[in-house]
């Protein structure tokens, strides 16, 4: 399969996910500041989810810039990742309505953890197709650990869980540069690490 078809399909799914999240937002019950404040948990959860999806979209694009061809394993890994991330509107709405309750938070952060795991699997398969191996750095490991711990322990301290997840997610706005070994005739070149 041409990678452009996979990218176009993925872009469409991610655009629909963001649209559904916007449609889940409800108007305040009245016209006062207190009414607006009442929906603030939902707005903040939406904001976190929007940037979560946007960061993955950017890193998905960067990842497929280095992809030569798409085999069946990569295709299905991408489908699994899209399935997991397509649940974000549902988990966002539930966590936004019950921002300190154990079950909604656990499911919300578990969905983020599964998105992270499935994205790393997709990235590993792409690198394998190129004859390379995935290298885990501090950011990769931090993402996996933080999302998983938030899913397990977020109910104990919801505010801390939201803040730590937001910080780790925003860390991926800036792709890391990795140095390649210098060639005898050529200067060092940079390679962007795209796994989120």
The 10s digit of each residue's pLDDT in 147-167 is 999 999 888 889 999 999 999
Parent domain of 41: 3-193
Q: At what angle do helices 102-129 and 88-97 cross, to 10 degrees?
A: 160
Q: How many domains, the chain?
A: 1
Q: Percent of the chain, pLDDT > 70?
A: 88
Phi (first) and psi of residue 119, to 5 degrees = -70, -40
With vertex at residue 57, the alpha carbon angle to CA 4 and CA 43, rounded to the nearest 5 degrees, is 145
- What is the mean predicted confidence (pLDDT) over 65-84? 91
Confidence of residue 133 (pLDDT cuts 50, 70, 90): confident
pLDDT of residue 173: 84
Q: What is the pTM of this model?
A: 0.84
């Amino acid at each position: 399969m041409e990678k452009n078809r996979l990218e176009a399909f993925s872009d469409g799914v991610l655009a629909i996910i963001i649209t559904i999240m916007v449609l889940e937002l409800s108007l305040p019950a009245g016209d006062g500041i207190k009414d607006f404040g009442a929906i603030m948990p939902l707005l903040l959860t939406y904001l976190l989810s929007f940037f979560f999806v946007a960061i993955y979209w950017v890193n998905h694009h960067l990842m497929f810039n280095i992809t030569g061809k798409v085999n069946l394993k990569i295709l299905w890994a991408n489908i699994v990742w899209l399935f997991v991330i397509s649940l974000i509107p549902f988990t966002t709405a539930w966590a936004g309505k019950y921002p300190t309750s154990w079950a909604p938070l656990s499911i919300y952060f578990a969905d983020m953890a599964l998105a992270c795991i499935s994205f790393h699997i997709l990235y590993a398969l792409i690198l394998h197709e190129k004859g390379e191996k995935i290298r885990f750095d501090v950011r990769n490991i931090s993402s996996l650990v933080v999302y998983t711990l938030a899913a397990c322990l977020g109910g104990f301290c919801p505010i801390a869980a939201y803040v730590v997840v937001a910080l780790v997610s925003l860390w991926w706005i800036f792709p890391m540069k990795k140095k390649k070994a210098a060639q005898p005739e050529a200067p060092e070149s940079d390679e962007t690490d795209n796994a989120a």
